[in-house]
Structure formats: structure tokens, C-alpha cells
Structure 1
Amino acid sequence: MKRRQFIAAAAGLPFALAAPRALSQALDELTIVYPSPGGLGYFALYAAIGEGYFAEEKLKITPRSVNGSAAAIQALLAGQAQLAHPGPGPLMAARDRGQDLVYIYNYFTRSQFNLVVPETSAFQKPADLKGKVIGVGTADGAEVAFVRSIFDAEGMKEGADYKFITVGEGGMAVAGFMQKAIDAYASDTAGAATLSLRGIKLRSLTPPRFQSYFGNGYVVTRKYLDENRGMLERFGRALVRGTKFGLDPANKAAVLKHARMGNPQQLENMPFAEALMEVYYRLTAPLDPAKGFGYNSPEAWEMWQKTLLASGDLKKPLDDLSKAYSNDLIAAWNAPK
């Protein structure tokens, strides 16, 4: 989904990893290709590596990074990895081209974009922003379309009921609020972390149904799913344990340490890393804990398909949308040990 990354990804470059605990003599190997080298964003994987959960499942994990979801899908289809981590849009586009890919684990369960206002403001809902100015990082960023769809649902039209102005990201967004040049901001993951770090506490005005626009998750080919269910059960069990470990505030220091394996540059500014980690905790927590980690909501998939059709990214509905995702392994992944 997101075009801008924290650092440029090196295509096909593996990260050197070492599982410090619970080594095994016979480990099955899994290579996973990610659309960016995000150690903090993929904290669950690195926590599961660092805490030895994959080793306990007799798995050796090799993460690799490429530049974007489309490239991740290409690497998967080329046999360079067993799993990929693309967004739902590129996956559905690939299925529309006849590639039988299956989204098996919903990792970023919430939208990485948000319509936010300072906590001290009087605005409580999107409709309160009628006649107001919404700051954006760039004029054509994906977050702009996301926030526009929120206002569309309220019957509010750009230009007549509100307007966007480009203020940039990070400190420029902070300045926009402090100078009262903007009333709200179309924020992405890093933007929310920056505003929080600079002392601007935020209130999200994103309606619950828009929070269901989930992001990237784990994808395999149908053939691999059918032939390696046991392997994927072991993978998902370890990943769920890594997620739970990461979401426990008591493990914050260990999570940040493990995340260095994936992208040490993200940890160079520790206050920013900690603020960013708080955002990722929210993005990866289940919308409905009773459904378990990794669960795919059929309603959320329908929402995504409608959005992609409206934007023209899909020319026609998929023949069978339910084949784009699977919840078959959710029970096994979330079963108590």
C-alpha cells in the first residue's frame, strides 16, 4: 500500500539472522519476502526468531526484502520464497491475472492511515470538520484517497465542504498544527509516531468500519498451502507467539532488540523507534480478539474489493473473492499450548 518507505530496500538482499535460543539439528527452512526491510513493523517475526519460537517448531526463517508488494509477489511466484507479505490490493490484482495466491494471515489488521486531530481539539467525528483544512504529506499519497473516502461516506465533498493542503510529513505536519494552518491531518504510520514524539497527542476520527481496511499479510501459493499445511501450522503458531510476546508491554526492550535484526537503521533514533512501535502495536492487534490472530474478515475483503473497483485498480470483481484468503489455519495457530 504505502509508496514511501523508511529506507530504500535492497532487492533480494537477505538479512543475517541468528536464533540465539533452542537450536535444533534438523530445521525446515522457510524464506519470506517482504516489501520493505521493516524490523519494527515485522516485530512479531523477529521476536519469534529471537525468543526461539521458530526453532522450537523446527523452522529456520530467512527474511528477504524487495521494493514493494508487487515485487514480493513476483519473487514468490518465481520460487524464490515460500511466503510473501504483500498488501491485499496487489494480491487481488495478481489473482485477477490468474495467479492462485492465498492470503493466509492478516498481520496488519487495521489501516495504517488515519484521520487525526489534536486531542485538545473540539472535533469528535469527521462531520465536525466541515469547512476545515486537512493537511496531507503529499498531494497524491495513498492516505489522501483513504481520508477522502471517509468524507465521501459523510456526504462531504472536497473543495465544497473541506480542503486538502500539502504540508509535508514529520516536523512539517507538527508545524502545521502549531501554526493552526491545518485542523486535521491524514496520517500514516510514521506520521502518527512523529506527531506523538513531538508532544502532539492525537485523537483518531477514523470511523470503525474504515479501520477494517487491513494492510499487508502473509501469502502463499495455493499449491504450497495444499502441500505444506503442517509446515504452515508450525510457522503460524510461532508467529502468534511472537506477536503476543511483542504486544506485552513488559517485553518492550526485548522486542526493540530483536527488531534490530531486520532493520538496525530504524533503531538509531530510539525515542522515534519507541513511538513507532506503539503505532505498530495498534496496527497488529486483532480487531476481534475472539477470532484469533491472523483472522481474515470476509466483510473487510468485500470492502477492499469495492474500493479497488471504484478506483479502477480492479476492472471487474474477482470470480470468487473467498478464494483470495483462507482462515483454515487460524484455529491451529491460536490453540493454547
Structure 2
Amino acid sequence: MTLSHHVVSQSFLSRRRLLAGGLALTGAGALAACSSGTASRAASASAAGGALTIGLTYTPNIQFAPFYMAKKDGTYAANVTLHHHGAQDGLFDALQSGQEQLVIAGADEAVVATSNGSDLVIVGGCYQSYPACLIVPESSPIKAPADLKGKTVGTPGRKGETWYALQLAMSTASLTESDLTIQDIGYTQQAALVGGKVDAVVGYSNNDAIQIRQAGTPVRTIQVADRIPLVGVSLVTTRSLLDSRRQDLETVVKASIKGMTAFVKDPDAAVEATKDHMDDLKVDQTQAARAREVAVATGKLVSGDGSHPIGSVRVDDIASMIEFLTSHKLLGDKKTPKAAEVCVPLAQ
């Protein structure tokens, strides 16, 4: 049985709840020496096309640290700016209105938006592993997606990455919505799980799972499939911007990858730089330690299993994702995205 409530739009970063106390973005100086030439070239390239704004799809959070690090280290040109979205901002609105030239968002959501009429292009990768997963109490008998049969699962809403992940979990286990109770719980995963209102929740391995543990409840994460065809956080632009500012975008994508690499290598430096953006971390060692834990977990998503370069994105993976989204009726009806059109890697 499925309980239908208000639908909450969600993205991997844009609509995710911040961790307790708020965790800001971070930066570090690891690339300063090696990136001076890159910064100089970026300055020349970007100056030719004007300012270039990168949209970060929520308020400051350590999960955005790779981009803060690239900015702090001078890897980005001086006229490259970072812009945080508010809770009510649309994921791609500022990009499509020309206020931003690049946005950090899920590739899956970019493809869905394209199917609904947007003209978006994925030009770089970020997460090599998908962040959305099932979260259950440590003592739960649920060990795999098949164990969801007859159980109640809480989800933030019926859009976005957690919804796609739940669809994949059910597909993996050959379950339909009639086999379980899906409860729309908004962003109250912790309260719903701890209070016993649901048997499992869909959330993020580098956010919700950590937050629940930090609040004192032992939990486990369960992958929604052995092979996940969904692609999470990536670098997204518009077709018109790609056509008019391809060189500028390529330079920024490559600089962002340097930031990702530094972030994975040095979470401590990430936390230190976070203090420039979140005053609480300067005086609260507990919050700083929690921020580091999120940085480490996020770094694992950025690096993946090591089989692909940091920052890469692959047209074949986007094709597999489109096939999954199509087969599960998750795409809009205005346009059928083609992988080679919606994914143009600029750093490969």
C-alpha cells in the first residue's frame, strides 16, 4: 500500500537537509603551487567570456568543499564565483536564466529536467558512487532490498534521487509498490526511523546515515542494487553556454577536478578551510569533527572504487541511466534525452 502525501522535490545536494549544527563548505591550500599556471590561463579564458558563476545547490556545506578548495587555492580564475542556492530556489533556474554558467547537481536530475523541456548538458563528473541508499536500524532484519516486502519505507518525496533509488531497490527485488508501504516523510528520516514510524528510510550515505549515527542511533546502509545505473552529482551547464563558452567551461571543469582531488586527499585541510565559511566550526570542536566525518564519507563518493578517474563522467553510463529512467517512467514527455547530446565530457 502507498500513502500519497505532498511531493517534495529533491536533489542529491540541493534539497538535502543540513547536518546538525550546519556544516559549511571547505577549502585547502594543497594545490596553490601547482595550480598557479592553471589559474593564469583560466583568468585569460574567463575574461574573454566574462564572469563565470558556479551554482552550489544549497547553503554552505562541507559536501561542496571541492569547489571551495579550487576557489581558495587560486585554481579558479578571480572572476569565477560561487553562488549558493536557498532552500526555495529551483535546481536549474539560475542556470537557465543566465545567472549561473555551471551548476553542481545530479546528472539524473539534469536528464529528467531535459526530458521536461530544459536544454541541459552534463560536462563533468563529481560523484563516482551513487549516494542514495536504504538506511535501517543496526538491529533490523532488513539486509537487502528484497527484505522490504511487507515493510514501511520512508522517503522525502516522490521526485529526486531518493525516489529514483527506491524505484531501483524495488526493481532489484522484483517488488512493486503494492508489496510495501511507502510513506512520504519529508526530511524527517531520523525522527521517523528512531520513532519506529517506518522500518527503513531512503537517504544519503554521506549525510542522513551519518546524522542519525551522530545523534546516537546505530544504523546500517544498504545499497539499492549491486550495479547502480544512476549517476549522481555532476557538473551541468546549458547547450547554449556550451556552444558559446566551451573553452571557459573546460577550464573550470578541469580546475574543479583539481579541487575534488585535493578534497579526497585531505579532509583535515577541508575542515580548516570550512572555518572561513562557517564560524561555528572555529569554536565548536564537535561540529568540526562531524564536518570531517562528512568530508571523509563524501570523499569516498567522489573517488568511487577507483576504477574511473576523479571528475570523470561517461556517455555510456548516461545511456544506461536514461534506459533505466525511461523503463521506470521517470522521464517527462517533452523530449527523450540522447546520451551523446546530454553528456559532453570536457575533461576527458
Preserved CA contact (<8 Å) 1:37 1:65: yes
State the alpha-carbon separation in 2 of the partners of residues 313 and 266 from structure 1.
41
Match in the other structure for 1:48: 70
Match in the other structure for 2:57: 35
State the alpha-carbon separation in 1 of the partners of residues 221 and 96 from structure 2.
41
Q: Cα RMSD (Å) of the superposition?
A: 3.9
2:84 pairs with 65, 68, 78, which one? 65
State the alpha-carbon separation in 2 of the partners of residues 297 and 214 from structure 1.
11
Question: Does 1:259 pair with 2:274?
Answer: yes
- Three-state SS of the structure 1 residue aligned to 2:308 is helix
Preserved CA contact (<8 Å) 2:322 2:339: no
**How many equivalent pairs are there?**
311
Preserved CA contact (<8 Å) 1:32 1:85: yes
Match in the other structure for 2:131: 112
Gaps of 5+ in 1: 8-14, 332-337
Aligned pair in 2 of structure 1 residues 246, 292: CA closer, same or farther (>3 Å)? closer
What's the TM-score, normalizing by structure 2? 0.71
Letter of the aligned partner of 2:313 in structure 1? Answer: Y
Preserved CA contact (<8 Å) 2:133 2:221: no
State the alpha-carbon separation in 2 of the partners of residues 286 and 34 from structure 1.
21
State the alpha-carbon separation in 2 of the partners of residues 213 and 257 from structure 1.
32
Q: Deviation per CA, 1:2-30: give whole Å up to 9, x if none.
A: 374446xxxxxxx9x99996788893442
Aligned pair in 2 of structure 1 residues 294, 281: CA closer, same or farther (>3 Å)? same
State the alpha-carbon separation in 1 of the partners of residues 340 and 87 from structure 2.
24
Match in the other structure for 1:185: 201
Match in the other structure for 1:235: 252
Aligned pair in 2 of structure 1 residues 165, 25: CA closer, same or farther (>3 Å)? closer
Residue 103 of structure 1, CA deviation: 0.8
Q: Superposition pairs for residues 209-288 of structure 1, below 5 Å?
A: 209-210=227-228, 212-248=229-265, 251-261=266-276, 269-286=287-304
Preserved CA contact (<8 Å) 2:119 2:238: yes
- Three-state SS of the structure 2 residue aligned to 1:151 is helix
Preserved CA contact (<8 Å) 1:196 1:275: no
Gaps of 5+ in 2: 1-9, 19-24
- Three-state SS of the structure 1 residue aligned to 2:105 is coil
Q: Superposition pairs for residues 1-337 of structure 1, below 5 Å?
A: 1-2=10-11, 4-6=15-17, 27=43, 28=46, 29-54=51-76, 58-67=77-86, 71-92=90-111, 95-96=114-115, 100-119=119-138, 123-131=142-150, 133-136=151-154, 138=156, 140=158, 142=160, 143-144=162-163, 146-160=165-179, 162-164=180-182, 169=188, 171-173=190-192, 175-176=194-195, 182-188=198-204, 189-197=206-214, 198=216, 200-210=218-228, 212-248=229-265, 251-261=266-276, 269-286=287-304, 289-304=307-322, 306-307=324-325, 310-311=328-329, 313-315=331-333, 318=336, 320-327=338-345, 329-331=346-348
State the alpha-carbon separation in 1 of the partners of residues 130 and 242 from structure 2.
26
Aligned pair in 2 of structure 1 residues 323, 67: CA closer, same or farther (>3 Å)? farther
Residue 44 of structure 1, CA deviation: 0.7
Q: Deviation per CA, 1:167-212: give whole Å up to 9, x if none.
A: 7735425524xx6x654332235321112322515242421323x4
Letter of the aligned partner of 1:185 in structure 2? Answer: V
Residue 270 of structure 1, CA deviation: 3.0
Residue 60 of structure 1, CA deviation: 3.9
State the alpha-carbon separation in 2 of the partners of residues 128 and 97 from structure 1.
34
What's the TM-score, normalizing by structure 1? 0.73
Aligned pair in 2 of structure 1 residues 315, 252: CA closer, same or farther (>3 Å)? same
Preserved CA contact (<8 Å) 1:295 1:330: no
Residue 227 of structure 1, CA deviation: 4.4
